[in-house]
């Protein structure tokens, strides 16, 4: 398929069970693309129940497919619809295929799941491959334990798709931090498709700092405590609150951002405790979280991909407290970041003594800034993606990306 710039189109698949990772990464890439190509249209297919809460630049839009979730220890199930999971997946697959058929993208960019959730994009991949669209798999810097990932991909029969369908594989990170495909015994024909882009630089979005949720701002200096989407962030927030409850003054005020997917019961319980602490405030969520981080002295986080990009981009000292299960992605990223001097790691897989967290918060002032670690190309992800997109579209970016 060949198009000139005036009709160039990118379709991004972001499966989004229950969280913000895939959506926020896809949105950053989409906004980066349209900042470089004046007449490019980018359409994001997502199952996120809150995708409409985010601001989309001109030239970017979305199609919402029915949401599905996997409760802790449970099976995949529809988020809202009272139908069985097979029916929900059939609807999702049909919407994806028909959207691609009508939209006719030059590039189909798939986020992190090669065949889609339960294989829901296989038909779309075959159709677009037949039509000559470029198919690109975009991967996080870290996916999971290689052994578990290999078992998962073998079960889903991913290898033939990597070999025969995808034209390129973009890793949104650097090999100095992690090689996500290492240990999977992939053939050279697949590994030759891999390009490490660097991390996705984040800029402050063009939104007012006078966020309704963020008034009044905590007195400086303050730290931001963020578990991302929040569905599994109760351990992190509890540990931080216990540090303030038992130790009192830690040198920083704290702003807790619960995340949109934390349960109301859990959030209310934390708010009761926070109301008793003079130095801690809380909000549920802010779609312009970059502004919250920009003025902060540091960040306490679980270490998800997007927050890590923001820590690097905004040059923030940080404490990473990764989840221990079901995936070890955050632990791998946090461990490597600490080894390189980019962050402090506190393992959540062990005793969570309040004094341990209190000491880590107090010692933030002694940590070095990530910018002092010299790793070439660390935040070149958006620029490199636009360069490769330009090659795909046979044209050069018109202007540098700027939000």
pLDDT at 197: 98
Helix (H) or strand (E) holding 299: strand 298-301
How would you label 215-234 residue by residue, b for 16+ Cβ within 10 Å and e otherwise? eebbeeebbbbbbbbbbbbb
pLDDT tens per residue across span 311-354: 999 999 999 999 877 788 999 999 999 999 999 999 877 789 99
3-state helix/strand/coil string of 339-350:
HHCCCEECCCCC
pLDDT at 6: 54
The CATH number of domain 5-201+379-393 is 3.40.50.2000: yes
2-6, 99-103, 272-276 — which is least confidently predicted?
2-6
pLDDT at 364: 97
As a whole number of angstroms, the distance between CA 9 and CA 306 comes to: 25
pLDDT category of residue 212 using cuts at 50, 70 and 90: very low
Q: How far is CA 353 from CA 246, 298, 318, in A?
A: 10, 21, 19
Does residue 305 have a pLDDT over 70? Answer: yes
Most confident by average pLDDT, 17-21, 36-40, 81-85, 381-385:
381-385
Give residue limits of the domains in the chain: 5-201+379-393, 212-372
pLDDT tens per residue across span 111-124: 999 999 999 999 99
Helix axis angle for 122-131 and 85-103, nearest 10°, is 20
As a whole number of angstroms, the distance between CA 253 and CA 168 comes to: 45
Token duo for residue 12: 């991004």
CA angle 302, 307, 308 (to 5 degrees): 90
pLDDT tens per residue across span 263-278: 899 999 999 999 999 9
pLDDT category of residue 196 using cuts at 50, 70 and 90: very high
pLDDT at 175: 94
pLDDT at 17: 64
CATH assignment of 212-372, among 1.10.287.1770, 3.40.50.2000, 1.10.645.10, 1.10.3720.10 = 3.40.50.2000
Most confident by average pLDDT, 8-22, 200-214, 363-377:
363-377
Does residue 5 have a pLDDT over 60? Answer: no
Domains 5-201+379-393 and 212-372 share a fold: yes
pLDDT at 7: 80
pLDDT at 108: 98
As a whole number of angstroms, the distance between CA 171 and CA 138 comes to: 6
pLDDT category of residue 72 using cuts at 50, 70 and 90: low
């Amino acid at each position: 398929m060949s198009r000139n710039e005036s009709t160039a189109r990118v379709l991004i698949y972001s499966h989004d069970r229950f969280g913000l990772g895939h959506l926020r990464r896809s949105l950053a890439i989409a906004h980066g693309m349209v900042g470089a190509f004046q007449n490019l249209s980018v359409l994001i297919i997502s199952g996120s129940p809150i995708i409409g809460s985010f601001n989309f630049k001109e030239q970017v839009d979305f199609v919402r497919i029915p949401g599905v979730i996997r409760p802790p220890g449970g099976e995949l199930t529809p988020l809202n619809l009272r139908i069985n999971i097979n029916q929900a997946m059939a609807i999702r697959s049909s919407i994806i295929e028909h959207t691609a058929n009508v939209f006719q993208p030059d590039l189909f960019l798939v986020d992190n799941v090669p065949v889609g959730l339960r294989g829901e994009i296989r038909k779309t991949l075959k159709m677009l491959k037949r039509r000559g669209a470029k198919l690109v798999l975009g991967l996080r810097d870290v996916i999971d334990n290689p052994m578990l990932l290999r078992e998962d991909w073998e079960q889903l029969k991913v290898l033939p798709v990597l070999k025969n369908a995808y034209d390129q594989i973009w890793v949104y990170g650097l090999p100095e931090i992690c090689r996500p495909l290492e240990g999977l015994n992939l053939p050279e024909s697949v590994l030759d498709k891999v390009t490490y882009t660097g991390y996705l630089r984040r800029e402050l979005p063009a939104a007012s700092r006078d966020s309704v949720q963020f008034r009044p701002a905590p007195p400086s200096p303050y730290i931001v405590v963020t578990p991302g989407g929040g569905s599994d962030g109760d351990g992190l927030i509890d540990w931080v609150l216990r540090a303030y409850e038992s130790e009192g003054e830690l040198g920083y005020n704290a702003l807790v951002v619960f995340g949109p997917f934390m349960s109301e019961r859990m959030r209310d319980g934390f708010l009761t405790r926070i109301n008793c602490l003079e130095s801690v405030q809380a909000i549920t969520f802010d779609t312009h979280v970059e502004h919250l981080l920009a003025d902060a002295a540091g960040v306490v986080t679980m270490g998800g991909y997007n927050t890590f990009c923001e820590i690097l981009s905004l040059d923030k000292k940080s404490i990473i407290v990764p989840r221990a299960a079901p995936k070890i992605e955050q632990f791998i990223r946090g461990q490597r970041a600490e080894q390189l001097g980019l962050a402090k790691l506190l393992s959540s897989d062990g005793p969570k003594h309040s004094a341990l967290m209190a000491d880590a918060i107090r010692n933030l002032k002694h940590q070095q800034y990530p910018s002092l670690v010299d790793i070439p190309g660390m935040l070149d992800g958006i620029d490199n993606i636009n360069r490769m997109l330009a090659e795909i579209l046979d044209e050069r970016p018109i202007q540098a990306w700027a939000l």
